Amino acid sequence: MSVAGIDAVSAILLIPAAAAAVLALLPDYRTGSRINVGAALLTLAAALSLFWNRPPVGRYLLVDDLNIVFIVLTTFVGFTTSVFSASYIAHELKTGRLTPTYLRFYHAMYQVLMFAMNLALVANNIGLMWVAIELATLTTVLMVGIYRTHEALEAAWKYFILGSVGIALALFGTILVYMAARPTVGEGLDAMVWTHLVARAAGFDPALLNLAFVFLLLGYGTKVGLAPLHAWLPDAHAEGPTPISAVLSGLLLNVALYALLRFKMLLAANPAALSPGPLMVILGLVSLVFASFMLYRRRDIKRMFAYSSIEHMGVITFAFGMGGPLANFAGLLHMTMHSLTKSAIFFAVGHIAQIKGTQKIADIGGLTETHPVLGWGLVLGVIAIAGLPPLGIFMSEFLVVSSTFAREPLLAIPLVFGLLVGFGALLLRLGGLAFGEPRGATGVAEASYGPMFAHLALVLCAGVYLPGPVVAWFQNVARLLG
């Protein structure tokens, strides 16, 4: 059993790595996109098999209740996005925005990204985790700049510089954790193994841990997109290919958040260290309120949804910062739902932007009339992301807001305020996009609706009914997070 388990973990790393190598060599983009989908599907299958075969904890790799949530989510969205990407990329090729060479590069990079994210998730070593996240960052930098336009390059550049600083800060934090752990755990690799760290964190030097957390919070927080470290995020989302926007919002932000959570657990295990909650709560609230206001003046549809990702990352960070079984549960649920919903929105937006030939909100209108399926899909997605029932985000927002208000009424006020302001902005734009006189081109959509509606169906289902095992599992994780 353990052999099979190790196999499963290796599989979720090896399959993308191998696929990346193959794709880099394969000239035909059609086969490439098929292989991409196939590899993603295989990875998903391997990830699912982790449920039955959980490998023992190693010094490098770890699968526990916490990261299995993330792994399954990542591989699932990775798979659906690859399906979406297949139809999306074909259109890009047709309009000449990408050449087959770039497509080869794109597919290879896609799998490298998958590899990096999976690695970050299963890493039991904080150094390895750092390396994986940085790899993921660099990969996405390349993908964001793939269109080679001024805007794309500029976005990639901004992402690159800010990301590099974030990388550096996170590394400093990692070193500090090592320094804190060394006296207790001993020199060498052991002092970077997370399971060892968390088991003995009580004996660490609290001052070093605090300092480490500050750096990690800012370093990984840059990746999460928390304000005021968010600046790369909107442009990277707006200028890159839409599948990458979907993966960025749906997955990479989560992966960075996952890293933060790991360190939060570390700090929580040391009673003398400062409690990480308030810092996360403050950053979360700042991000939420800031992003909500930023939504109002957006003219680019993808950039708008990128800001909405910042907003939701703020909510999730806030929830985890609050802690406690309800808020943690809500945070996990919110993260899952946000991943699914936001990627679904980007699927819709990608096709819309292709049909209309523009990402300018002002040039898009009346979608429910001209493209009912896409239009209503977008409406449903925005409604979901705005936190309206019966979709899943409502449940998590319900839990976050109500539990916060019962515990810290004063914190709930800015939370509710931010949510409301963001809601108003999203709805305002939705009114123009989906309703009113049709604007812009009305060509036929060559879209694959499957991924979008699969995500929305899951979100809808989760809003009304969560299966018992999922709940038990989330609750368990919530307890782990403390």
Partner 1 sequence: MPLTIALLCVPALLGTSLLALVVRRSPQGYRAVYGISLAVSLLGLFAALSQLLAGAEPSHTVLPLGLPWLGAHLRIDALAAWFLLIANLGGAAASLFALGYGAHEPAPQRVLPFYPAFLAGMTLVVLADDAFTFLLSWECMSLASWALVMAHHRERDNRHAGYVYLVMASFGTLTLLLAFGLLAGAQGGYAFETIRAAPPAPLFASLVLILALLGAGSKAGLVPLHVWLPLAHPAAPSHVSALMSGVMTKVAIYGFVRIVFDLAGAPAWWWSMLVLALAGVTTVMGVLYALMQSDLKRLLAYSTVENVGIVYLGLGLALAFKAQGMAWAAALAMTAALLHGLNHCVFKSLLFFGAGAVLHAAGERDMERLGGLIHRMPQTAFAFLVGCVAISALPPLNGFVSEWLTFQAVLLSPELQSWGLKLLVPGAGALLALSAALAAACFVRAFGVTFLGRARSPAAERAHETDRFSRAAMFACAAICLVVGILPGLFIDALAPAVAQLVGDRMPVQTVAGWQTIVPIVEGRSSYNGLLVFVFMTAAASLTAYAIHRVASDRVRRGPAWDCGFPDPSPATQYSATSFAQPIRRVFGTVVFRARERVEMPPPGSPAPARLSVSLQDLVWDGLYAPVAAGVGRAADRLNHLQFLTIRRYLSLVFVALVALLLVLAIWP
Partner 2 sequence: MDKFSFDVAHMLAGSLVLVSFVQLYQDRIYALLNVFALHAFVLALSVAWQAYVHDAPHLYVTALIALGFKAVVIPVVLHRIVQRLGIHREIETVVGIGPTMLAGMGLVALSMVVMLRATPEADPLAREDLAFALSVVLLGLLLMVTRRNAVSQVVGFMSLENGLMLAAAGAKGMPLVVEISVAFSILIAFIVIGIFLFRIRERFDTVDVRALDRFRGERG
Q: Which stretch binds partner 2 (CB under 8 A): 177-185, 275-283, 331-339, 341-349?
A: 177-185
Instruction: Specify the residue, 150 or 468, whose C-beta has the smaller distance to partner 2.
Output: 150
Instruction: Specify the residue, 13 or 426, whose C-beta has the smaller distance to partner 1.
Output: 426
Instruction: Specify the residue, 160 or 305, whose C-beta has the smaller distance to partner 2.
Output: 160
Q: Using CB under 8 A, which of 27, 56, 183, 431 touches partner 1? A: 431
Q: Where are the beta strands (DSSP E) in 160-299?
A: none
Q: Using CB under 8 A, which of 182, 195, 407, 449 touches partner 1? A: 407
Distance (Å, whole) CA 60 – CA 158: 32
Output the smallest distance, CB 216 to partner 1, in A. 11
- Site residues for partner 2, 131-150, by CB under 8 A, read 131, 134, 138, 150
Q: At residue 360, what are phi and psi to the nearest 5 degrees? A: -75, 125
Interface map 298-337 toward partner 1 (x if CB under 8 A): --------------------------x-x-----------
Q: Is the dihedral of CA 192, 197, 203, 209 positive or negative?
A: positive
First to last CA, the chain: 31
- Site residues for partner 1, 180-239, by CB under 8 A, read 207, 210-211, 214-215, 217-218, 222, 228-229, 231-232, 234
Output the smallest distance, CB 162 to partner 1, in A. 6
Distance (Å, whole) CA 92 – CA 87: 9
Distance (Å, whole) CA 60 – CA 129: 9
Query: Quick one: what does residue 182 bind among partner 1, partner 2, none, with the CB cut-off 5 to 8 Å set by partner type?
Result: partner 2
- Site residues for partner 1, 432-471, by CB under 8 A, read 435-437, 463-466, 468, 471
Q: Is residue 395 at the binding interface for partner 1, with CB under 8 A as the rule?
A: yes
Q: What would the two tokens of residue 375 be? A: 């239009």
Pure H helices in 123-205: 126-144, 150-185, 194-200
Q: At residue 312, what are phi and psi to the nearest 5 degrees? A: -70, -35
Query: Quick one: what does residue 78 bind among partner 2, partner 1, none, with the CB cut-off 5 to 8 Å set by partner type?
Result: none
Output the smallest distance, CB 153 to partner 2, in A. 6
Residue found under tokens 């804190």: 180
Distance (Å, whole) CA 225 – CA 158: 13
Q: Report whether 77 contacts 247 (CB < 8 A).
A: yes
Count CA atoms closer than 13 A to 382's CA, side-chain side: 26
What type of residue sits at position 289? V
Q: Report whether 226 contacts 317 (CB < 8 A).
A: yes
Interface map 108-127 toward partner 2 (x if CB under 8 A): -------------------x
How far from 290 is each of 114, 161, 296, 330, 332, CA to CA, in Å? 30, 22, 11, 21, 22
Q: What would the two tokens of residue 307 be? A: 């800001």
Find residue 360's DSSP bridge partners: 300
Q: Report whether 375 contacts 436 (CB < 8 A).
A: no
Q: Report whether 388 contacts 403 (CB < 8 A).
A: no
Binding-site residue total for partner 1 (CB under 8 A)? Answer: 72
- Site residues for partner 2, 354-383, by CB under 8 A, read 359
Report CA Rg, the chain. Answer: 21
Q: Report whether 163 contacts 228 (CB < 8 A).
A: no
Q: Is residue 182 at the binding interface for partner 2, with CB under 8 A as the rule?
A: yes
Q: Using CB under 8 A, which of 92, 300, 311, 397 touches partner 2? A: 300
Q: Is residue 175 at the binding interface for partner 2, with CB under 8 A as the rule?
A: yes
Output the smallest distance, CB 110 to partner 1, in A. 27
Find residue 125's DSSP bridge partners: 193
Interface map 94-133 toward partner 1 (x if CB under 8 A): ----------------------------------------
Which distant-in-sequence residues (6+ apart) come within 8 Å of 303 by Cβ?
A: 234, 235, 237, 238, 359
Query: Quick one: what does residue 424 bind among partner 2, partner 1, none, with the CB cut-off 5 to 8 Å set by partner type?
Result: partner 1
Q: Which stretch binds partner 1 (CB under 8 A): 76-84, 113-121, 132-140, 382-390?
A: 382-390
Q: CB 84: neighbour CB atoms within 10 A? A: 28
- Site residues for partner 2, 387-406, by CB under 8 A, read none
- Site residues for partner 2, 204-233, by CB under 8 A, read 205, 207-208, 211
Q: Using CB under 8 A, which of 83, 320, 394, 447 touches partner 1? A: 394
Residues within the interface to partner 2 (CB under 8 A): 127, 131, 134, 138, 150-151, 153-154, 157-158, 160-161, 164-165, 167-168, 171-172, 175-176, 178-180, 182-183, 187-189, 191-192, 205, 207-208, 211, 235, 238-239, 298-300, 303, 359
